[in-house]
Amino acid sequence: MKRIKRIVRVVLVFIIILTTSACINIHKGETFEKFSNDFFLSIIGYDEITINNLFKDREAFGFEHYDPSLPEPYVPSGSGGSVIGDFLGISVQGYLKRLAEFDFDTLTKDQQITYLIIKDVLERSQKKETYMYYLDSSYLGSYLGYQAQLPLLFAEYSFYDVDDIESYIKIVNLVEPTFEKYYQFEVEKADKGYGMPDFVIDKVIAQCERITNDIDDHFLIPVFNDKIDGLDFLSESEKSRYKNLHEVAIKTSFYNGYIYLKDNLSNLKGRATNNQGLYHYEGGKEFYQFLFNQVTGYDIKVDDALSYLENNLRKRIISYVNLLQNNEGLVEEINQTILLDFDSPMDLVNYHREHIKTSFPSIDDYDIDVSVKYIHKSMENNFSPAAYVISPIDETSSEFIYLNAKSVNDRPNYLFVTLAHEGFPGHLYQNVYFKNQEVNIIRKVLRNIGYVEGWATYAEMYSYRFSEANPTVVEAIKLNDEINGIITAILDICIHYLGYGYDDIISYLETNLGPTNPEVDYQALYNQLVEVPTNSQQYFFTYLKFVDMYEKAQKKLGTSFNEKEYHKLILDLGPIPLKFVEQEVDKYLASK
């Protein structure tokens, strides 16, 4: 399964903390702008990493420099009401009460969408029980744990002024004490029956070993030095001082933190009560239902979602088999076909950028400079094949895509669609387009992952249209990609909601799809699905929903269907839960 990532620039501290707080503060007569701004400040809080990632000019958004920190484990006592962040100390009940004061019908379109987003976030937070925080924890993990994300996050930390440099170095110095807290939290989880599976522990330990190899030449040191050398607001002596401080921080706290994890995590091996899916935990099936709804943006029962996925799988298998039966030698052509000849990844990015112009709204007015980089070798085994680094909301000139050489080199067809997913018309394009729209800041900060990854997967599949290869072969390759993606989404449900073990998964595949492929490492696939529940849903379930909406519009409007206009509708809504996107598409079609 190739898609397992967390976009680097995210709101790291957007954690909804359950508590019994009853602090309710009604602001009679307040404007919706005042209310939404309070909420915005509350969810961002004082977190330096989040603010640095989101804003180039923090003061323009109401933020100062604060005491830096790294995310720390927290599990509330009890359940019931909620508190978001700590900026205002206002309970979820308080926000819902304030929200109810507004007449929805009198709000502008932008305000109505913002209203729905806030209401959805608040109401969903109230459904999260205390035990779910142990099941939901991703502080440590082979792909999405903070220890896996931090090196790239540090490499992309922006220095707009001296305070940013000071904060960054302080954050690096927090790695050791924070990682110690992560380990202690894993001990607590194990004590309560939620211990980390041994195969995950082994992967985290191996990654810690790779990251700490040759610490004297760690890639973060020259990356930092190069950035410091380019800052004209520093004197030469200041540059030298900061370089020294950073190198010491990397070789002490950063290094010691990873060594601490490496040396101590093995103590937890054998303590996991469950090396299978969420189903096998008490309340795990209910948590999977909660998580599924949260990541997909749909309030659908998992049983119904499974039927939906299986129906889509059957349709595509039938189409694929028909292609094979009607085109002799197609299998050989599939294996030999190159979607497009290109010289470099940037050639592909520019190719996609040009080819979307007839079907997607233009972003040519925004002066953006796109760069493609490769992640450091020490991160290759624990990093996605590619990742788009989300740029600050108020800055559009520089955009970056990272590639994992181990995953994409010598795989031209995979790179072709992967760069469409990360670049045009995927993540990069969608982010640049939407952050330049005049909408409430909440809509730019609260990015529903189902929309984000569903759109990028839609973009990936759409890019097959840009291929210059035989259309029949291209369609077969696309169908095969869809089939594999839907299968992983089905297996995700089977593992976490129905309780399938490894042998059950193999039996399911053989019963429904025929003999297994000897070239596939099914144990690795199973382990990956076990470790990150619903990861595949945010790509493929949501992708299928995007396809449904497109086909509904195409069928309803017939020859009057305008693809660019339709895509503009979707993009103008931005990364909101797809249930709201679908409602807006229905309104759009009803108006035609």
pLDDT class for 78, splitting at 50, 70, 90? low
pLDDT digits (tens, 9 = 90+) for 544-587: 999 999 999 999 999 999 999 999 999 999 999 999 999 999 99
- Does position 483 have pLDDT exceeding 70, yes or no? yes
- Report the Cα 324 to chain-centroid distance in Å: 35
pLDDT at 23: 38
User: What is the arrangement of strands in the sheet containing 398-403, beginning at the earlier edge strand?
Assistant: 369-374, 398-403, 386-389
d(CA 89, CA 77): 17
Per residue in 329-355, pLDDT (tens digit) is: 999 999 999 999 888 999 999 999 999
Q: Do 159 and 199 share a structural domain?
A: yes
Same domain for 232 and 127, yes or no, is no
Domain holding 327, by residue range, is: 285-336+471-531
Question: Same domain, yes or no, for 38 and 96?
Answer: yes
Our count of domains for the chain comes to 3
Q: What is the pLDDT of residue 410?
A: 79
**Residue ranges in 497-521 assigned as alpha helix (H):** 502-513
- CA nearest to 431, candidates 2, 4, 3, 10: 10
Residue in the structure block whose two tokens are 């680097």 = 8
Residues 184, 236, single domain; the answer is: yes
Distance CA 504, CA 174 (A): 44
Residues 153 and 264 in one domain: yes
Q: Which residues 6+ apart lie within 8 Å of 389 measured at CB?
A: 7, 8, 9, 152, 156, 399, 400, 401, 402
Same domain, 56 and 79: yes
| Whether residues 164 and 64 fall in one domain | no
290 inside domain: yes
Six-digit token pair at 292?
A: 């599924």
Is the pLDDT assigned to residue 88 strictly greater than 60?
no
In a domain? residue 429: no
User: What's the rounded Cα separation, in Å, for the pair 18 and 465?
Assistant: 46
Residue type, 8: V
Residue 397 confidence class, pLDDT cut points 50, 70, 90: confident
**DSSP one-letter string for 151-202:** HHHHHT---SSHHHHHHHHHHHTTHHHHHHHHHHHHHHHHHTT-PPPHHHHH
**What is residue 497's predicted lDDT score, i.e. its pLDDT?**
98
Domain assignment of residue 251, yes or no: yes
Within-domain flag for 277: no
Residues 254 and 168 in one domain: yes
- Indicate the pLDDT class of residue 25, thresholds 50, 70 and 90: very low
Indicate the pLDDT class of residue 20, thresholds 50, 70 and 90. Answer: very low
And the tokens for 6? 């967390």
Q: Are 264 and 184 contacting, i.e. CB atoms less than 8 angstroms apart?
A: no
The pLDDT of residue 160 is above 90: yes
Asked whether residue 273 is domain-assigned, the answer is: no
Do 465 and 339 touch, CB atoms closer than 8 A?
A: no
Residue type, 303: D
Residue of 462, 436, 437, 432 lying closest to 369 (CA atoms):
432
List, for residues 369-394, the tens digit of each pLDDT value.
999 999 888 778 767 888 998 999 99
Long-range contacts of 433-438 (CB under 8 A, 24+ apart): 433/361, 433/363, 433/571, 434/571, 434/572, 434/574, 434/575, 435/391, 435/393, 435/396, 436/363, 436/366, 436/396, 437/572, 437/574
Smallest CA-to-CA distance from 506 within 491, 493, 492, 519 is with 491
Residue 29 pLDDT class (50, 70, 90 cuts): low
How open is the CA angle 347-350-354, to the nearest 5 degrees?
Answer: 135
3-state secondary structure of 400: strand
> Within 13 Å and on the Cβ side, how many CA atoms surround 537?
29
Q: Which of 513, 531, 549 is the last residue of a domain?
A: 531
Which two three-digit tokens encode residue 500? 């399938």
- Compute the mean pLDDT over every residue in the chain, rounded to the nearest whole number: 90
> Could you give the CA distance from residue 254 to residue 52 in angstroms, rounded to a whole number?
20
User: 254 and 210 in one domain?
Assistant: yes
The domain boundary, picked from 211, 234, 268, lies at: 268
β-strands 369-374, 398-403: how paired? parallel
97 and 27 housed in the same domain:
yes
Are residues 257 and 152 part of one domain?
Answer: yes
Q: Which amino acid is at 58?
A: R
Which residue, of 504, 531, 558, is where some domain finishes?
531
Same domain, 120 and 205: no
Residue 295 forms part of a structural domain: yes
In a domain, 45, yes or no: yes
Which of 29-38, 112-121, 124-133, 144-153 is predicted most confidently? Answer: 112-121
Question: Percentage of the chain with pLDDT > 90?
Answer: 77
Q: Report yes or no on 416 lying in a domain.
A: no
